Structure 1
Amino acid sequence: MNGVGNYLKKHTEALVKDVGIEPACQLTGKSKATLGRYYSDNEEHADRFMPIDAVAALEAAASYPHVTAALSDLKGITLSHDQRRQNVSKGNVNTDVIALSQRFAMLMAEYQQAIEDGVITVNEAKRLLKEAVTLQQVLLDMKLNLEQEAG
């Protein structure tokens, strides 16, 4: 089995163990044996991988998105994991626009404070990064709401 396959199987195993084998069976509708085949390193199961819908169901219940993180690592993408978010927005586009303008104003206020002395310190950069990530989350909520309204 190639390195990518081994890497994905190890993260699939971590995902199943994070959720627990019994709950994983219930969430995916798969048997223990089937789930085991998805992360088995035996040559006969080398081409078997967990379906994406099963990964999504398990990652929703897991403490960390193990397989998604592995896939992003393989592609050279950095993820920012925010435990308080479930990617479910309760607002609508109008509330998102208001939140977006408020968060952008906060980012600009942080930026103004940071550049007053002409030097952005490490702490100032961290605050700017935090505001930028929060702004990104508002944009994601807005995107999800727009997609939902578009059908």
Structure 2
Amino acid sequence: MSTIRSYLKKHTEALVKDVGIEPACALTGKSKATLGRYYSDHDEHADRFMPVDAVAALEEAASYPHVTAALAELRGISLSFDGADRKNRRSNGINSDVIALSQRFAMLMAEYQQSIEDGVITVNEAKRLLRETTHLQQVLIDMKLHLEDEAN
């Protein structure tokens, strides 16, 4: 499977797991098996991807737009969230963002240290590192938004 296909499938899986499998089924009208096929890395499902309307429905319910962000990253584009009702906005200003950033970075480094101890990063360790990196990215987005608010 190509790197791009694998990357998109992993982000599709993250999106479904963020929302939860049962709620994802309800939101998309798809079965658990169908949703699983969208992120399966088995050869027989290599060409199956989640329809864009299903991605939109799930990302509205998710804490982070996993698939949209993955598509943007593949094109070298960075995303910015607008609106007062952002689900990824968890902090109360730039000071709490700096603290959250420090904490998340420390968690990422601790996870990296634990993962690299034996000289090999396993698939599960890579998934944990990816999860921490995504959390760090969310904090940076919040921080950027707070700085933009203060600049206006």
Q: TM-score range by the shorter chain?
A: 0.5 to 0.7
Structure 1 stretches of 4+ with a deviation exceeding 4 A read 131-134
- Number of aligned residues: 95
Q: Which has the larger radius of gyration?
A: 1
How far, CA to CA, are the matches of 1:5 and 1:78 in structure 2? Answer: 20
How far, CA to CA, are the matches of 2:14 and 2:78 in structure 1? Answer: 19
What's the offset of the Cα at 1:84? Answer: 3.7
3-state SS of paired residue (2:56): helix
What's the offset of the Cα at 1:131? Answer: 4.7
Is the counterpart of residue 55 in structure 1 residue 55 in structure 2? yes
- Paired position in structure 1 for 2:41: 41
Letter in structure 2 aligned against 1:10: K
How far, CA to CA, are the matches of 2:30 and 2:45 in structure 1? Answer: 16
Q: Output the aligned Cα RMSD.
A: 2.6
- Provide structure 2 residue ranges, at least 5 long, that are not aligned to the other structure: 87-143
Q: Structure 1's 133 and 62: CA in aligned 2 closer, same or farther, altered over 3 A?
A: farther
Kindly report which structure 2 residues correspond to 1:1-151, keeping only aligned pairs within 5 A, or say none: 1-82=1-82, 84-85=84-85, 130-131=148-149
Letter in structure 2 aligned against 1:81: F
Query: Identity rate of aligned residues, in percent?
Result: 73
TM-score of the superposed pair, with normalisation by structure 1:
0.57
How far, CA to CA, are the matches of 2:151 and 2:72 in structure 1? Answer: 18
How far, CA to CA, are the matches of 2:65 and 2:43 in structure 1? Answer: 26
Deviations 1:33-66 (A, max 9, x none): 0000000000000000000000000000000000
How far, CA to CA, are the matches of 1:60 and 1:16 in structure 2? Answer: 12
Deviations 1:97-140 (A, max 9, x none): xxxxxxxxxxxxxxxxxxxxxxxxxxxxx89x615986xxxxxx
